[in-house]
Structure 1
Amino acid sequence: MSIFSTFIRVSPSVNTALEVLRNTQSNLNVAQRQMSSGLRVQTAKDDATYWTISTLTRTDISGISSVQDALGLAAATVSTASEGVTSAIDIVTKIRSKLVSAYEDSVDKTKLNDEISQLKEQLRSVGQSASFNGVNWIVLQDGDDPTEPHRIPGSLIRHTDGTIAIGMLDYEGATSTSGTIPSTDARYLIDDQSSGSGGYGVLTSTAFATEAGAAQNYVLIGSKNGDTTGQVEISLDATTTKGALTDMVNTVTAMLHQLSTIGSAFGSLETRVSLQSQFATNLSDSLTSGVGKLVDADMEQQSSRVLALQTQQQLGLQSLSIANASYNTVTQLFQNL
């Protein structure tokens, strides 16, 4: 064996320098990738457990975002309905004031009735206008089921078995499905269904007159499509008696009570939608923060690491250059042996 062969076999300087440089370059690639992506765990091979948790949590965050969008639409829908009921309460209160004024013998009941007629027209206009994105919660139309609650997505729930459920917020529907409809089931402002007689609408229901003991089946306005046989719209003329006025005032007072109940229900739902929306925002932020703690890179640390590795890379290149120079010198010395 020649002296040159022995030197090559026992001199690892070049190989060592190359190995160190490879490791440095590999670490630098990882650090630069984490810097550019902002993620310490970007793929499953980086950390299978954290990658799985972060991936599932991100799908939950996406679902919560969809729920937030739905809550935004729901908030607008409920707010529109609530505003419609509030406006209706103001108008019905004015109608009752007109009816009370009619007790005075010197008042022209015909002129009062003209004002009441205009107010009743305004009531229907309010009901039909209280629509958001084509959805109206206070006017019952054909095809709607008054016993079905209005439901809106409120939350995303992940069960322990990994399945997903959507929590719902409800505005309760009526309880009656047949027979006489009580005043408590008048959950709408107006019932224009052709299949009934207006019983699910406060303004179109005869239940308030019946429960007030009125002599006639008074309603404030008639159902547009329903069977209104035997119903009497509240109105005045010169022959209206004080007994009839009392029945009308009592009927309208009962209607106002139910309108207040509906308005309170909408107000409570508005509050809950607002609270749920805020909770969804906070939950999304919390989950995002939790995922970040698992997979996000420490940018300050990685920046320092990149600088250190770049310096180490330069030193490695210098070491390799020195090792190569030494190798070349030795080979030149032994070439002449």
Structure 2
Amino acid sequence: MASSLLTNSSAMTALQTLRSISMQLSTTQNRISTGERVATASDNSAYWSIATSMRADNAALSAVSDSLGLSAATVDTEYTALTATLGSDGNSGLTKLQALLVESKTAGIDRTKIQAEITQIQQDMKNTANSATFNGVNWLSTTTATPTTVNLVSSFSRVGGTPTINTIQVTVANYSLYTSTTTGILDTPTSGVSIDNMNIGTLTDSSADQTTIDGYITQVTTAINTVSQSAANLGAIKNRISNNSDFVKSLMDSVTRGIGQLVDADMNAESTRLSALQTQQQLGVQALSIANQNSQSILSLFR
């Protein structure tokens, strides 16, 4: 090959090789520093677009998870108050009230004293319902401003560009013990008397009064069945929320893994590539240095 002062082909080749190695080295260093193989759209537009959409989905799932946590706390509050009103231990609530009414059927018993206990139970149940508030929400003691139905966000999914948000619908009237319009489970009157205001203090052993007490017992028994069913429904909703919450968290982990498979850099491979490129860079610099020495060799011919 002819030697030339104007065109150093060897140096040009070495320079091009060194430039290519430097670009690859820069790419590898960026992957190592960011931990991502696809950090920008220019790295791989298709994978970057998919990963961006999946990250948006994960953000939505995170919001669903937070909403499920809030819903779980609300339902748990209402459930706890319902079971307290029910008084499953027999020493409080509706079960105790039923027992006192049955006791009041005893001939010659002092019903005034029994009524004193009944009054305390009535007040206690109402206080329990009024206290069943979480984040300003109360399904047991409601007003006309309380929504008739509540939708609890349970899941999020997206097919193509169409998102779908599923909810668990709660009918508040099924759990209302007291309402401002006296249509709740415990304040709805039957023949002018509700569980909230029934009073046996003035009743006697007469047949008519005994029949009245029988009616009160029937009312309380019906209320026990209704509240038990309401508590069972809330228990089922609690389980559903818990299952959905576990699923959403697992789904978020799955989506995160999917994103990682698309864009994460293989650090073992990148580390190996970095060492190789650094070695190639050193050799390229050496090759360029040798190629540039050709000009000095030509110069020596003119000495």
Query: TM-score, normalised to structure 2's length?
Result: 0.91
Is residue 265 of structure 2 the alignment partner of residue 297 of structure 1? yes
> Where does 1:274-289 land on structure 2 (aligned, <5 Å)?
274-289=242-257
Aligned to 1:203: 186
Aligned to 1:150: 150
| SS of equivalent to 2:300 | helix
**Which consecutive unaligned segments of at least 5 residues does structure 1 have?**
175-185, 210-215, 222-232
Deviation at 1:238, TM superposition (A): 4.3
Residue identity (%): 33
8 A Cα contact 1:171 1:265, kept in partner:
no
> Where does 1:116-265 land on structure 2 (aligned, <5 Å)?
116-145=118-147, 148-160=148-160, 162-174=161-173, 186-192=174-180, 196=181, 198-199=182-183, 201-206=184-189, 209=190, 216-221=191-196, 233-240=197-204, 241-265=209-233
Once residues 331 and 111 of structure 1 are traced to their aligned partners in structure 2, the CA distance between those partners, rounded to angstroms, is 125
Aligned pair partner of 1:101 in 95, 100, 103 = 103
Once residues 308 and 159 of structure 1 are traced to their aligned partners in structure 2, the CA distance between those partners, rounded to angstroms, is 43
1:267 partner amino acid: G
> Where does 1:39-54 land on structure 2 (aligned, <5 Å)?
39-54=36-51
Deviation at 1:335, TM superposition (A): 4.3
1:217 partner amino acid: G
Deviation at 1:110, TM superposition (A): 0.9
Once residues 302 and 141 of structure 2 are traced to their aligned partners in structure 1, the CA distance between those partners, rounded to angstroms, is 103
Aligned to 2:64: 67
Kindly provide the CA deviation profile for residues 146-196 of structure 1, in whole angstroms up to 9, marking residues without a partner as x.
xx3211111112133x0223211111355xxxxxxxxxxx5311112xxx3
1:125 partner amino acid: N
Larger CA deviation: 127-136 vs 106-115: 106-115
Aligned pair partner of 2:55 in 58, 62, 82 = 58
Kindly provide the CA deviation profile for residues 51-98 of structure 1, in whole angstroms up to 9, marking residues without a partner as x.
111111110000000111111101000110111111111111111111
Once residues 153 and 74 of structure 1 are traced to their aligned partners in structure 2, the CA distance between those partners, rounded to angstroms, is 8
Once residues 212 and 251 of structure 2 are traced to their aligned partners in structure 1, the CA distance between those partners, rounded to angstroms, is 58
| SS of equivalent to 1:49 | helix
8 A Cα contact 1:102 1:109, kept in partner:
yes
Query: TM-score, normalised to structure 1's length?
Result: 0.83
| SS of equivalent to 1:217 | coil
Compare relative contact order (CA 8 Å, sep 6+) and give the higher one, 1 or 2.
Answer: 2
Q: How many residues align?
A: 294
Deviation at 1:306, TM superposition (A): 1.0
Aligned pair partner of 1:327 in 276, 294, 303 = 294
RMSD of aligned C-alpha atoms?
A: 1.8
Once residues 113 and 215 of structure 2 are traced to their aligned partners in structure 1, the CA distance between those partners, rounded to angstroms, is 20
Once residues 86 and 96 of structure 1 are traced to their aligned partners in structure 2, the CA distance between those partners, rounded to angstroms, is 15
8 A Cα contact 2:5 2:295, kept in partner:
no
Distance 1:123 1:173, change over 3 A: closer
Once residues 240 and 231 of structure 2 are traced to their aligned partners in structure 1, the CA distance between those partners, rounded to angstroms, is 14
1:151 partner amino acid: N
**Which consecutive unaligned segments of at least 5 residues does structure 2 have?**
88-92
